[in-house]
Amino acid sequence: MSSIPQKIEALRKKLQHHEHLYYVLDAPAISDAEYDAMIRELQALETAHPDLITDDSPTQRVGGKPREGFVKVAHSSPMLSLDNALNEIELRDFDRRVRDLLGAEDFAYVAELKLDGLSLAVRYRDGKLAEAVTRGDGATGEDVTENARTIRSIPFRAPAEEVRGEVVFIRKAFDKLNDERAAAGLPLFANPRNAAAGSLRVLDPAVTASRRLDYFSYYLVPAPPTQHQTLEQLNEMGFKVNPNWRRCDDIEALAAFCKEWEQKRDSLPYEIDGVVAKVDSLEQQRRLGWRHKAPRWAIAFKFPARQEETVVLDIGVNVGRTGTLTPGAFFRPVNVGGVMVSKATLHNEDEVERLGIQIGDTVLVERAGDVIPHVVRVVKQGDHRRPFRMPTACPICGGEIVRAEGEAASRCINISCPARLRESILHWAARGVMNIDGMGEALVDQLVDKALVKNVADLYALKFDDLAKLERMGKKSAEKVLANIDASRRASLPRILNGLGIPFVGERTGQFLAEAFGDLDKIAAAGEVELQHAEEVGPKVSRSIHQFFQEKHNHALIEQLRAAGFNFTHAVKKRAGGPLQGMTLVLTGTLPGLAREEAKLRIETAGGKVAGSVSKKTSYLVAGEEAGSKLDKARELGVAVIDEARLLAMIGDAAG
Ligand code: IVH
């Protein structure tokens, strides 16, 4: 048997290894659930033995409390900026200057991607993360250590003095964040860079932790003799280094690298705005020196901006799958970095108001990667500008539009609205929902237009002949789609719940509902309060679910799906947990043999959960001496009350 400290250290090592695989190398070796189980095990041990908690434990990523403000810190050496080359001519000018200054000497460049985020210096003391400081004005920055600690690609331990790099926001996470903010009626971030800055410079580290930030490093002290060795060493130390760098022997290779990445920039999951070229040898860098505030040994080759001005011709609304009306602007088409842009989403009424945008205005439009273009700001108000008004009737079906109190979105409440139908089918068929491969927009449009499908259940009545006669549909693909539709009848209850498109119910909530009720019919019959027995289901979500199942058309849909062969029951999986698996216990009073934390650890180790207060969901109240109001509450609710001995017997640990 290993001792507790040994156990803790072994867990930390394992967790650090898997965090490195996941966050730095993007190559996870275990599932999220396995990782979660491990971190919970460590947390439980640390809670039981608080004296063994160290600053660099993987559990301590989000330990910090919100602060009052940021402290200014001087940089060890200035964090300066780079001169720009806006085209190939300027890039070649830079190369000529370098060659002139170095005379006949041989040299090489290291070309790196210019990540569009914000730079951050991270200091280590005795191999441990000590301080993280933003660039600020270059001479002094702000201490954001607590926030930086939540970024998993910044190791807690490293044999370095200082590392510098760029904090970036993954584009997908950015879209998701803005969607959530739009739904919550919060102001949106203009681009991933602003979102990264906004997430790093918040007072509460928990907010930073909730955002998916990444850190790519490119600077190291103490430095090896060359930049390419810096990158290699950073990599070996466990830092995330952007893999897309190249040592270039001459300007031709460098120019080719720049061209190549200008083409490929959209293929990356994060934003880049150019290429940084650095003279590889640090000795040569030193001799080239600095001019004004930028080094002579490096240059930023900037890609053309992907912002253009254009005129708003109209503002309309799009009706989504859940009936949400999303305002969108139509522009005079404009070429933004090689792509013609003629429309952009405006998210919701609040965003329209925030931008102050009206029909006839000239606006600045930005495109980032494959993200839908968005309006940055109004640059000039139109002479005959007209405001946008949210329609009172659905533009597609004429149905009633409702904006619920406290919600940012207006919705069409007619479930059979054709606009909702198209989106509902696409959602139903999507990856991770029903996985009906081949059921793309082109096919769904035809099915809806030809009235072959009036709701998602109609998909299960489609015949080979229905599909084979459609445009762009060969015999083979028709057969494949039919087979995929057929296979989807075996979808699990959480996926069915997700597929139905109930506002606020995705797969996660679907999972909780399925676990709590075990059967779609029970969910459909449940009242609003009863629905809240499911985890994470509060009043807003339960109202939405209840409303959905009250609707006549939706009832009919469920019956049609049942007839199509769907299974609405959910086998509650017995996980290989312990004897308390699935149970929630509450502790109260003083137990004779076990300290509170110890009892908690035992319960969790046996697969149970410990909650702070008694509710109908409580399985047992474990009461010790001087139990107070929790005991009364448990009696009132009819929750079973047990003592320590009984608890230990249940866990199979009578010795205590
Ligand atoms: S090196 C002496 N390398 O671009 C300058 N900077 O305009 C050292 N940046 O403030 C900077 N990616 O925030 C360097 N691979 C990269 C970079 C990079 C992005 C940012 C950085 C810097 C700005 C320079």
CATH number of the domain to which 24 belongs: 1.10.287.610
pLDDT at residue 68 in the model: 67
Shared domain for 50 and 94, answered yes or no, is no
pLDDT at residue 66 in the model: 63
Q: Which residue range(s) make up the domain with 276?
A: 84-302
pLDDT class of 555 with cuts at 50, 70, 90: confident
Shared domain for 174 and 298, answered yes or no, is yes
Considering the domain boundaries, does residue 71 fall inside one?
no
Considering the domain boundaries, does residue 635 fall inside one?
yes
Shared domain for 17 and 123, answered yes or no, is no
Shared domain for 343 and 417, answered yes or no, is no
* Atom 17, ligand 1: residue with shortest CA distance: 114
Mean pLDDT of the chain: 89
Considering the domain boundaries, does residue 67 fall inside one?
no
- Kindly name the residue from 65, 114, 450, 609 that is annotated as catalytic: 114
Q: Is the CB of 82 under 6 A from ligand 1?
A: yes
Shared domain for 324 and 251, answered yes or no, is no
Q: Is the CB of 81 under 6 A from ligand 1?
A: yes
**Tens digit of each residue's pLDDT (9 = 90 or more) over 524-539:** 999 998 898 888 888 8
Shared domain for 43 and 106, answered yes or no, is no
pLDDT at residue 65 in the model: 65
Model pTM score: 0.62
Shared domain for 313 and 248, answered yes or no, is no
Considering the domain boundaries, does residue 386 fall inside one?
no
Helix, strand, coil percentages (3-state) for the chain, rounded to 5, are 40, 20, 40
The Cα 465–Cα 183 span in angstroms is 41
Shared domain for 642 and 601, answered yes or no, is yes
pLDDT at residue 339 in the model: 84
**CATH number, position 329:** 2.40.50.140
pLDDT class of 56 with cuts at 50, 70, 90: confident
Considering the domain boundaries, does residue 314 fall inside one?
yes
Shared domain for 213 and 348, answered yes or no, is no
Q: Is the pLDDT of residue 186 over 80?
A: no
**CATH number, position 114:** 3.30.470.30
**Tens digit of each residue's pLDDT (9 = 90 or more) over 459-474:** 999 999 999 888 888 8
**CATH number, position 398:** 1.10.150.20
Domain edge (last residue) among 302, 324, 341: 302
Shared domain for 490 and 626, answered yes or no, is no
Q: Is the CB of 166 under 6 A from ligand 1?
A: yes
Domain edge (last residue) among 347, 380, 413: 380
The b-or-e profile of 322-355 (16+ CB within 10 A means b, else e) is bbbbbbbbebeebebbeeebebbbbbbbbbbeeb
Considering the domain boundaries, does residue 578 fall inside one?
no
Q: What mean pLDDT do residues 114-130 have? A: 95
**CATH number, position 643:** 3.40.50.10190
Distance 114 CA to ligand 1 centre (A): 6
Shared domain for 633 and 599, answered yes or no, is yes
Domain edge (last residue) among 269, 302, 335: 302
Considering the domain boundaries, does residue 96 fall inside one?
yes
* Atom 9, ligand 1: residue with shortest CA distance: 114
Q: What mean pLDDT do residues 386-409 have? A: 84
Q: Is the pLDDT of residue 568 over 80?
A: yes
The Cα 286–Cα 595 span in angstroms is 62
The percent of residues in the chain predicted with pLDDT above 70, rounded, is 96
pLDDT at residue 655 in the model: 41
pLDDT class of 344 with cuts at 50, 70, 90: very high
Number of structural domains in the chain: 5
pLDDT at residue 653 in the model: 62
Q: Output the CA torsion sign for 448, 449, 451, 452.
A: negative
Most confident of 38-42, 91-95, 176-180, 614-618: 91-95
Considering the domain boundaries, does residue 485 fall inside one?
yes
Shared domain for 334 and 420, answered yes or no, is no
Q: Which of 135-149, 346-360, 625-639 has the lowest mean pLDDT?
A: 625-639
Q: What mean pLDDT do residues 67-89 have? A: 88
Q: Is the CB of 295 under 6 A from ligand 1?
A: yes
Name the 3-class secondary structure at 381: coil
Best of 75, 82, 133, 279 to mutate for ligand 1, by most ligand atoms within 8 A of CB?
A: 82
